[in-house]
């Protein structure tokens, strides 16, 4: 069968060259153009026109870039074929197998093939291409011996490394424990890459953030000295990205490491794909067809026959489902090793505050303050607040009803002098009275990092206090040699070289304030990721009201047990990952027409309003994937020039 689904050939094209018919895919995002078109290859372009290269064609009177899928001697087109104008690439960027993979991946997500290719292949840079042709960078794979190292802590870990080194392709879900130095997750990922290279194959490692990339790159240089390592991330310039792409695709690299931008990088002789923190929202592609690195890695591993490992401190429902199905094997430590390697987690809810009396009414419980003081004697400690800023939520101190404006119903806020005003209409509120209990005293139910740092400055006089918040204000790392108190927001807590001596998570219940189906799983993953930065046996105080089952999973360090319970509930509701589902969003008429065109093999929830003149619906497949059905409907609508809809298949925020 040909690479692309094509009609039966009706005639042979006569030419002075062999295989004069080019099957090309226009670089267009319209679904109805997502198929092969026949063009003729002029004799002058015979050598240059190779499958996997970009060409220029004239379509509807306009010069357009297209991908050359394959060459043939026959065509189903009855008239004369238009010629290819020119060949863009001097180097073949991708193989025909990768083009077929991109098509399958796009259709599984209800999208268009060229949208996948545009995220996998960077724009051509002529100067870098000329430099590369002048010096092709011939490279032999780095020779090394495998090292099991810290993988021996995990049941099945050493066997996973041995199978990699023997050239096999195991697929594993790795539940990582906290560790430092030789036992850190970055060192273990580097050892997995080393074992893959020892089998004369290449490794691809993907992490969520640039900070993670820095740590992993350092570990790779330490554990794989002499190996050619290529780094790919969105911060590279066009020239740097194209140079890294050429090094990877032409076989001049042993290991490719990067953020989600690297997940689609074509690699010859790929032996291992490793994805760290697989449930991270940073690994979701923000452009159509809205893939997740997790599904990209799975599709590549199955298609290319390479090894696959998902690493995370907190396996979620997707990994639990894969383990239950049997195509992923669990690599995890035994309970005794878990107890020996993890911090001690203490919950502090409202009932504990009441029992503590006046000692439990502050922003930090007295027990947490004492633990932080004790920890400062041996190293840094931290306090994590759910939000930046000062005070974010005011409630009645007696009945905890949120304080709202009597005019517009907006939430009230207080400045640094305690003056009240409405966040919505800006009206000043000189006197406030609770409509529920008639109380007049307010309390901060949720406070920001700036307010917490201000209060801690009085409680920990003489102790250096460091603030680390999201974006450019996040600190990458902190020394373990001096006592310091770090006040951070989620995701911005800097890594301590030897682990923190104590920590406190404030207002943990704030992470559950969302309509997402996966809100509890995301919260647990965030808490355990933060807890992983503590030393073994160090105390972590979690302040907030948590559901009992979630609290037990946190205290026992059992995220997989919680994920399996969640998986059972999703199965009964027909939700991903057990069943395929998609979110369809767009203008009212577009969504309504799209749902009308779907077959009876799907179940539709909604549509519901999603802003002004917009609708949102969930489409559930009764059997099989839902993506190809939505792609077919999108192609029908695009052919009639109807407004498009946004399709997201199996999103985490369903």
Tens of pLDDT along 226-266?
A: 889 999 998 899 999 999 999 999 888 999 999 998 999 99
Q: How large is the C-alpha radius of gyration of the chain?
A: 28
Confirm if 333 and 177 have CB atoms less than 8 A apart. yes
| Length, in residues, of the chain | 654
- Mean residue pLDDT of the chain comes to 88
pLDDT value of residue 1: 42
pLDDT value of residue 335: 93
- CA dist 321 and 411 (Å) reads 41
Tens of pLDDT along 319-351?
A: 999 999 999 999 999 999 999 999 999 998 776
pLDDT value of residue 649: 94
Percent of the chain with pLDDT over 70: 92
Tens of pLDDT along 408-434?
A: 778 788 776 778 888 778 888 888 888
pLDDT value of residue 574: 84
The helix/strand/coil state of 393 is strand
Higher pLDDT, 208 or 498: 208
pLDDT score of 290 more than 90:
yes
pLDDT score of 4 more than 60:
no
With a CB cutoff of 8 Å and minimum separation 6, the contacts of 159 are none
Confirm if 530 and 486 have CB atoms less than 8 A apart. no
Percent of the chain with pLDDT over 90: 59
> pLDDT confidence of 2, banded at 50, 70, 90?
very low
Mean pLDDT of 276-296: 94
Mean pLDDT of 294-314: 95
Q: How does DSSP classify residue 30? A: -
pLDDT value of residue 507: 83
- CA dist 10 and 7 (Å) reads 9
pLDDT score of 632 more than 60:
yes
The helix/strand/coil state of 403 is coil
Tens of pLDDT along 463-483?
A: 888 888 766 566 777 776 778
pLDDT value of residue 629: 92
Mean pLDDT of 22-51: 93
Q: How does DSSP classify residue 32? A: G
- CA dist 94 and 54 (Å) reads 10
Half-sphere exposure in the Cβ direction for 281 (13 Å, CA): 12
pLDDT value of residue 7: 52
Mean pLDDT of 570-586: 90
pLDDT score of 3 more than 60:
no
Tens of pLDDT along 99-139?
A: 999 999 999 999 999 999 999 999 999 999 998 888 766 66
Residue 31 in tokens? 């679904």
The helix/strand/coil state of 230 is strand
Give strand ranges (E) for 60-118. Answer: 62-72, 74-75, 86-87
Confirm if 36 and 24 have CB atoms less than 8 A apart. yes
């Amino acid at each position: 069968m040909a690479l692309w689904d094509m009609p039966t050939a009706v005639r042979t094209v006569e030419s002075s060259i062999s295989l004069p018919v080019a099957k090309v895919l226009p670089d267009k995002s319209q679904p109805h153009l997502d198929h092969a078109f026949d063009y003729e290859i002029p004799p002058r372009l015979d050598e240059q026109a190779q499958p996997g290269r970009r060409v220029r064609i004239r379509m509807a009177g306009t010069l357009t870039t297209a991908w050359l899928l394959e060459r043939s001697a026959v065509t189903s087109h009855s008239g004369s074929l238009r010629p290819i104008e020119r060949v863009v690439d001097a180097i073949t960027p991708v193989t025909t197998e990768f083009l077929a993979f991109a098509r399958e991946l796009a259709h599984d997500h209800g999208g268009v093939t060229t949208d996948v290719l545009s995220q996998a292949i960077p724009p051509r840079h002529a100067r870098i291409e000329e430099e590369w042709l002048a010096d092709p960078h011939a490279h032999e794979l780095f020779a090394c011996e495998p090292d099991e190292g810290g993988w021996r802590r995990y049941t099945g870990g050493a066997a996973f490394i041995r199978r990699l080194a023997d050239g096999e392709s195991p697929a594993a879900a790795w539940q990582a424990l906290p560790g430092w130095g030789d036992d850190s997750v970055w060192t273990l990922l580097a050892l997995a890459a080393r074992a893959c290279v020892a089998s004369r194959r290449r490794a691809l490692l993907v992490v969520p953030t640039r900070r993670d990339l820095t740590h992993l790159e350092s570990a790779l240089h330490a554990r794989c000295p002499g190996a050619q390592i290529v780094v790919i991330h969105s911060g590279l310039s066009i020239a740097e990205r194209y140079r890294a792409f050429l090094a990877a695709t032409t076989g001049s690299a042993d290991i490719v490491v990067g953020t989600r931008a690297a997940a689609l990088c074509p690699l010859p002789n790929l032996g291992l794909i490793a994805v760290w923190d697989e449930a991270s929202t940073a690994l979701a592609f923000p452009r159509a067809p809205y893939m997740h690195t997790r599904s990209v890695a799975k599709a590549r591993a199955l298609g290319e026959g390479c090894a696959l490992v998902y690493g995370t401190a907190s396996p979620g429902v997707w990994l639990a489902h894969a383990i239950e199905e049997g195509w992923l094997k669990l690599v995890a430590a035994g309970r005794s090793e878990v107890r020996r390697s993890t911090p001690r987690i203490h919950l502090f809810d409202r009932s504990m505050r009441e029992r503590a009396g006046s000692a439990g009414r502050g922003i930090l419980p007295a027990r947490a303050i004492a633990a932080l003081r004790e920890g400062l004697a041996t190293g840094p400690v931290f306090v994590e607040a759910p939000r930046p800023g000062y005070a974010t939520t005011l409630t009645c101190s007696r009945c905890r009803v949120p304080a709202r404006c009597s005019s517009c119903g907006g939430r009230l806020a207080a400045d640094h002098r305690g003056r009240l005003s409405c966040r919505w209409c800006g009206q000043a509120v000189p006197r406030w009275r609770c409509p529920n209990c008639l109380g007049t005293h307010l309390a901060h139910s949720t406070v920001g990092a700036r307010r917490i740092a201000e209060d801690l400055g009085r409680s920990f006089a003489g102790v250096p206090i460091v603030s680390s918040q999201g974006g450019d204000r996040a600190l990458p790392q902190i020394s373990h040699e001096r006592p310091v108190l770090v006040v951070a927001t989620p995701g911005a807590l800097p890594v301590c070289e030897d682990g923190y001596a104590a920590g406190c998570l404030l207002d943990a219940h704030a992470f559950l304030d969302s309509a997402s189906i996966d809100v509890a799983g995301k919260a647990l993953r965030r808490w355990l990721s933060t807890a992983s930065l503590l030393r073994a046996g160090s105390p972590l105080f979690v302040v907030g009201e948590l559901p009992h089952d979630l609290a037990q999973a946190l205290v026992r360090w059992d995220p997989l047990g919680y994920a399996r319970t969640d998986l059972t509930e999703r199965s009964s509701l027909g939700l991903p990952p057990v069943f395929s589902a998609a979110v369809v969003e767009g203008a009212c008429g577009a969504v309504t027409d799209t749902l009308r065109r779907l077959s009876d093999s799907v179940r539709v929830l909604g549509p519901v309003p999603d802003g002004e003149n917009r609708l949102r619906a969930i489409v559930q497949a009764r059997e099989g994937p839902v993506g190809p059905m939505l792609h077919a409907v999108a192609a029908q609508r695009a052919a009639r020039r109807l407004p498009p809809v946004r399709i997201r298949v199996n999103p985490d925020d369903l």
